[in-house]
Structure formats: C-alpha cells, structure tokens
Amino acid sequence: MFDFLNTWMQTGGWIVAGALIVVGFVLLIYGADWLVAGAGGVAKRFHVSNLVIGLTIVAMGTSMPEFVVNMVSVSDHSTDLAITNILGSNILNVFLILGSTALLYPIASQATSRKVDIPLACLAGVLVLVSGLCCNGIMRWGGIVLMVIFVLYIVYTLRHAKDYADGNDDIKPMHPGKAVLLILVGLLGLVVGGEMIVKSAVHIATVAGVSQSIIGLTIVALGTSLPELATSLMAAAKKNCDIALGNVIGSNIFNVFFILGCSATIAPLPAYDGFILDSLMAALGCFLVWIFVMTNKKHEIRRWHGAILLLIYAVYLGYRLMTA
C-alpha cells in the first residue's frame, strides 16, 4: 500500500528518507493527540470520569507512536526495529528524559509509584532480559504472558483509582461528529506516520550499512519518545516533576507489557546482536530510579541522580555506536 515511499527514497536518497522520518514523527504525535482528544471527548460525553480517562485513553494515547511503529515493523518483518523501538524508548525515558528533568528540578515521587508502578517497571525489564537469556528472544507465549500482566495491571489501577492524582480537567465533552472526525484523522495520521518512519528507518540502515537495531535505539526511539520528553520538560519548568516520573514509568510499563506483548503475540521477536545489553540497560534504569527514590527522606530523584543517569546513558550510547 505504501510502496511508493520506497520509490521516493530510491530516487531522493538520504534527503527524502530523512524528510519522511520527520514528517512521520509529526503525524504520529499529532495523530495521537487527535485520537486522544476525540476518544476523551466521547468518553466525557458519556460521563466517564476524568480519572478513568487519564488512566486508560490518555495513558495509551501517549504510547500510540511506539505501538504503531511496532505494528508496522512486525507486519514488515522488521523485528529488530520492533524490539529496539521499545527498549530504546524505555532507556531514553529513564536515562535521558528523567536525567535531564532531574537536573532542572528534583523529581518527587508518589507513594503509589514507589509501591506499585516503579516495581512493575522493574519487573518488565527483568522479564525481557530473562526471556532473551533463556529463549533467545520473546516468543509468542512470552507475549501472551506480558499481555496478561498488562490486563491485571489495568484492572488493579482502575480498582485503586482513588490513589492516583486526577489531572485531566481540561478534557471536555465533544460533539459526536467532531469526535469521530478527530478519531479517524488521528488514526490516519498514526498509520501513515508509522509507515513513513519504519520504511525510512529501514532504508537509512540499508544505505548506511548499519543494523536496524542501531536505528531503532537512536532515531526511532528518540522520535517516539518526544511526547514523554515534551511532557517531562514542561512539568519541570512548572516545578511539577512528579508528573514527569509518572509519565515516564507509566510509558515504560505500557511499552513492555502492552506493545511488546502485542508484537510478540503476533509474531515471535528473536534476539539481535546487543539484545542482552540493551535489555539489561532498560532494567537497570528502572532499578536505579527505585533505589534513588527509596534512599532519601523526600523520596525524590535529585540533581546528582540526574547527572548519574545522563553519564551512564552517554557511556552506553557511545559504546553501542562504536561496536555497531
């Protein structure tokens, strides 16, 4: 359906491929926003609470870029891109986004995050690492296990909704016609944007002679993490950094249990060169966050913690690029 994109890239080379990636990310981000706005408007019209909308529609909407890229990657048999998109996003979320945010302003943590969300994010990292060590990748049954855990997490979250902050007062009821239009346009933007990114990333990897995993860990992961980056930096500017932590940890949980679970259920995801190191880094990031917030009286990620996260990421990224 989108074979014309390959023709464009073969004709225009690097410039066209780079432009398509940029346009694809723009479509992904705006598409997710429109989808969330439309779906949230419909839910609000049926008197669904702000809290439930935030914990379901909005939370899933911010992970739509990763989800769409993964679905397109799996359908195109680019499994390396599917895995590294998630691992790269999770690594970026913790080391780069939380690290940068903590440098600007210390990040506070809520009790629920310390007791439930952060430990679950750690479990997600461990499960991916163990799957790579024991099964040389994530098999279909592993994807099903991840999906089951995700469903249990959603049920638990909705049952304990009162423990989570309600921050979606800006969602207003919407006329059904407008809501449907936003949902359809949002879905179209997500699909077209996802196709552009995946096909452009594969083309760049082929022309540059580097693996899809490196492109997935860097360009694709950074692009799909832009919503989390923007939200976290805005929260830091307003000195409301607990939102940044919840945003990042929630995204990491969705990425592994929902998106990686869906991807592996559709098609097994074999390990690639560097899988163990990347999954180890993703798990390490979550454990470091847990250690940071549990070892000081204010339960926060401090500025020097942020500096450590950024330093680790710089060393890791440098090593991966040199050994690519």
Instruction: Give the pLDDT of residue 19.
Output: 82
Instruction: Give the pLDDT of residue 143.
Output: 96
Domain, as residue range, for 107: 3-322
Instruction: Give the pLDDT of residue 145.
Output: 96
Q: How far is CA 323 from CA 8, 208, 273, 277, 301, in A?
A: 31, 15, 10, 12, 31
Which DSSP helix (H) or strand (E) runs through 203? helix 176-208
Instruction: Give the pLDDT of residue 67.
Output: 87
Radius of gyration of the chain (CA): 19
Instruction: Give the global pTM.
Output: 0.83
Which of 127-145 are b and which e, b meaning 16 or more Cβ less than 10 Å from the residue's Cβ? bbbebbeeeebbbeebbeb
Q: Which residues in the chain land under pLDDT 50?
A: 1, 168
How far, in Å, CA of 39 to CA of 240, rounded? Answer: 26
Instruction: Give the pLDDT of residue 290.
Output: 96
Q: How many domains does the chain have?
A: 1
Instruction: Give the pLDDT of residue 68.
Output: 84
CATH number of 303's domain: 1.20.1420.30
